[in-house]
Structure 1
Amino acid sequence: MKKDRFEHHCLEAEAGNDAFVAHPASGEEGRVIECSLKLGHLVVQTSDNQRRCWDFHECEDLNHPKSGPMI
């Protein structure tokens, strides 16, 4: 993942919005719950409620469709 996308995910998480990333090496996906801009790490919560800390260079964007009413 590029640094600007990492920073975007961090800002989204800080604002209380959902931001999702995938970690191809482990095959896991998760919701960003916090970041360390200084270290370049994302802390994510996986679907099985585990917390993982991943380097942003090892992650990819994971786009989930927005939920809500269909118009």
Structure 2
Amino acid sequence: KQLIMEGNRDPALVASKMKDLIKAKSLAEVDYVAVVDPETLRKIERIGKEVLVAVAVKIGEIRLIDNLKIA
């Protein structure tokens, strides 16, 4: 969220930084991090006014999914 609020508009960079943060701070195995349009859930080229960050990770046998809408 901080990267986007600071003005970063590159969804690939945001996803990459999220993956790195999760790997460094937890035992979770990252399944995916997607930065998408909150209405269509399609990948975006550039972050605009609103964005949805979707994350799925595995911890052992458990798969956790979370989404964060950033406006």
Quickly name the TM-score band, shorter chain normalised: 0.3 to 0.5
TM-score (norm 1): 0.35
Structure with more relative contact order (C-alpha pairs < 8 Å, separation 6 or more): 1
TM-score where L is the length of structure 2 = 0.35
* Larger helix share, 1 or 2: 2
